[in-house]
Chain A
Amino acid sequence: MQNQYTDWKQALRSGLLGGAITVLLSLIGIVTAFSNTYIVNKVISFGELLIVGPIAALSLVAIQKARARHPGLLILTAIISGLTSGLVILALAGLGQVINLRAMFLNASNDLYAIYAYKQALVPGLLLRLLVSGLVGALVAGFTLLPGRIKAAISQGLLYVILVGLMGRLIGTVLNTWGFVAILFKWMFVANSLSPIGAIFLFLLTGGLAYWRYGRPKTKQITDPKKQKLVRWGTLGGFGLLLIFLPNILGMWFSEILDNVGLFILMGLGLNIVVGFAGLLDLGYVAFYAIGAYTIGVLTSPELGFFNLTFWQAFPIALIMAFLAGVLLGLPILKMRGDYLAIVTLGFGEIIRILVLSDWLKPWLGGTQGIQRIQRPVVGIGEFSITLQSQQQLYYLILAGIVLVAFVAVRLRDSRLGRTWMALREDEDVAVAMGINHVATKLTAFAMGALFSGIGGTLFAAKIGSIYPSSFQFLVSINILSLIIVGGMGSIPGVFVGALALMGLPELMREFAEYRYLFYGAALVAMMLTKPEGLWPEARHRLEFHEEETPPPEESEAVPESA
């Protein structure tokens, strides 16, 4: 009896929590804001998902924590959890009728209650809501009792329907650039969301796929080295082709995002050398980006009219400037470590930004007005030359930059110099005692990082054609640092993944309008909790984090109650 009693309490607790989450999301205003953002057109909206989702999730928790094993009891537990959540929602709506909650919570409006009541009259509508909440619990319980294979199929199907439904508008944008292929898929989408038939089709397709793949080995191991080589080159070639045609596949809007992500990859690869390899925390990294961009600007802009060089004439000069700036910044901070280094570099970043902004240098650098009409890069010879102007054309320039920089970064990592950096990161005193000259080593790291950032700056200037001091905020340095941490410190593929996740995802999440950074922040926190070593950690770090991992002790919930 003790068991069932604690299950009962657990169910109530989960239900209250689920209801509380829903109420919280409602009061923030997300539920109302997305009540017309349909996942499946006219059937289920994102707002509704935000109400039902927490209820379902917490019912699942109630079942998992339940001690009873009898299916009937489990279903009962889940229903109690669901009903409790429903009651919490009802309580909010009821309270809203008695006193005016809007004085405190702007979003506790009649619109919200109408959504709760399925746009019906309040009393029967809310009763329906309560019923649905209980039903959600029951469905979740039923789901857990299914065999694994069907569970896998259903969850995968649902996941894809929700994802595709949410991304409906984006997918629409992409499809529009495809012309004839688009017609094949048009029937699946209505008004930026999935059509009911499309949703069922997608659910069956992805769910079926999961059903079919369940229990099968993921990939066949290829043992023949010749075949292995073939496969590797094949994948690489395919990936290369994909990269080349990506702007054409995705269209204008996505190309712009790709360009932005690309610039951050470039800079991330550079900062990864400084922070990831050599362990020097640099918070003023944006300075070199600014130096690269402004050098191009000053040298090429006819508006300032000093030099009127072409992009490619100015390019090497910009790189030299960035490189030298790296050495210059490196010199005073050789003796500093950790926090002190971070503060000094931060100061350096601000100095550059303020110099660029200053009236004193305005005749040369344009002050707040920045520099316009920066020369676009021209590629090709004579008659066959073109000026890279559109986002799609510039994509190739940035891609070439990334390939070059990534190549250099890999080479450096696997060299004597790379080892030296890592030794310095691990233990500076001992590294020096091994005969490593820390002056030369640190300066090289700073200079290489600065060089890469400078390349990013030149391409940025070429991309937007005009530069302003506001593009070189401290936040840029932080973003680059974050993408390295998210991707995995010191990992080169991690930089790519980190940049895509940190710079690309928020763009894709435009669907969430002003709430996108809320979701984004939550996603980041969740990610750092589950994968502290980064999304794609360096092989060495993977060892570091997982070799000493011990299984967590068995959970002993409900012990306090029985005691």
Chain B
Amino acid sequence: MDNILVSKKVTKRFGGLEALGKVDLELKKGAIQSIIGPNGAGKTTFFNCVTGFYTPEEGEILFNGRNITGMSPDRVTHLGISRTYQNIRLFKNMTAIENILVGMHPHLKSWLIGAIIRDPRTVHEEAEALKEAYRLLEYVGLKGRGDMLAKNLPYGEQRRLEIARALASRPKLLLLDEPTAGMNPSETQDMVHFIQRLRDELGITILIIEHQMRVVMSISEKITVLDFGRKIAEGTAKEIQTNPTVIEAYLGRGAASGLGETAAKG
């Protein structure tokens, strides 16, 4: 089993609008892969289908060979898929460390009774979790920020905290929805390196939605292009850059002839 995620003819409709139409996608274990496409192409909808927020009307999604189509989001997370959001969605009024601890939820066991009587197992579990949470906080470069409310962190740090929270559930597959949105070039560069580190050091497979072409081209081994809910191209950065359909989707009919290079640099 080489593919960690396979989607087969996934279709999602909202009323009359087809947000995703028969999307096929294969994601190799240990890869960094991107989904690109103009606004409203269905990229985030695809993420929502994978993570269980939406149930596709047709098609199948397999995670490590297991059918997860229509599974509830919490079960999907338990299986090892974790995500971040386009518009950062941290638990704003909780501290950074609490955010990460919530992310660890699937791996902790204590519930009502344990919380009240604080048996040794619960105490041990909580202590370990806290240690792990601080380790993660440091890993994403937020050492010393643990007690700050998430909403009081600067923008870039909120992005990284969101990734830390996603990592806390120890995912096998991480879905990043525009991780560099709103960042300046040097912050973007840091983020690119950071994403590569995640894959290299933690062995996590990563699927990214990204708008900045420079990021997409430099980081991904394979790129899938969506437009109006349909897959219009797939391939390496080189192949995508010169694909006339892609250029047309981005810049309109007729642009394909001359502006290809510019669009790719975007």
Contact = CB atoms under 8 A, between A and B. Distances in A.
Interface of A: 408, 411-412, 415-420, 422-423, 426-427, 429-438, 444, 448, 540-541, 543-544, 547
Interface string B213-230: 000000000000000000
Interface of B: 51-53, 72-74, 77-78, 83, 85, 89, 91-95, 98, 101-103, 105-106, 108, 110-112, 114-116, 118, 122, 126, 129, 149, 152, 165, 169
Given A417-B110, A419-B98, A432-B72, A411 B149 contact: no
Contact of B165 (A434, A437, A448): A434
Contacts of B165: 434
Contacts, number: 97
Contacts of B149: 540, 543-544, 547
Given A412-B115, A415-B115, A426-B91, A433 B77 contact: yes
A-B residue pairs, 5 tightest by C-beta: A415-B115, A435-B77, A435-B106, A426-B91, A423-B102
B208 to A, nearest CB: 17
Given A412-B116, A541-B93, A417 B102 contact: no
B152 A547 contact: yes
A415 B110 contact: yes
Contacts of A547: 149, 152
A444 B105 contact: no
A541 B78 CA distance: 31
A422 B91 contact: yes
A408 B78 CA distance: 29
B115 A422 contact: no
Contacts of A431: 91, 102
Nearest to B92: A426
Contacts of B118: 411
B83 A433 contact: yes
A376 B101 CA distance: 46
Contacts of B77: 433-435
B91 A433 contact: no
Given A432-B72, A434-B102, A416 B91 contact: no
A435 B105 contact: yes
B91 A430 contact: yes
A300 to B, nearest CB: 28
A167 B260 CA distance: 85
A535 to B, nearest CB: 19
A430 B94 contact: no
A408 B113 CA distance: 10
B127 to A, nearest CB: 12
Contacts of B83: 433
B106 A427 contact: no
Nearest to A422: B94
Given A544-B93, A547-B152, A433 B73 contact: yes
B255 to A, nearest CB: 38
Contacts of A418: 115
Contacts of A415: 110, 114-115, 122, 126
Contact of A416 (B51, B93, B95, B108): B108
Nearest to B77: A435
A543 to B, nearest CB: 5
Given A422-B94, A432-B74, A416 B110 contact: yes
A93 to B, nearest CB: 55
A417 B115 CA distance: 7
Contacts of B110: 415-417
A541 B118 CA distance: 26
Contacts of B129: 416
Given A411-B116, A422-B93, A434-B105, 13 more contacts: A415-B122, A416-B101, A419-B98, A422-B91, A429-B53, A430-B85, A431-B91, A432-B74, A433-B53, A434-B74, A434-B103, A434-B169, A436-B105
Contact of B94 (A416, A426, A429): A426
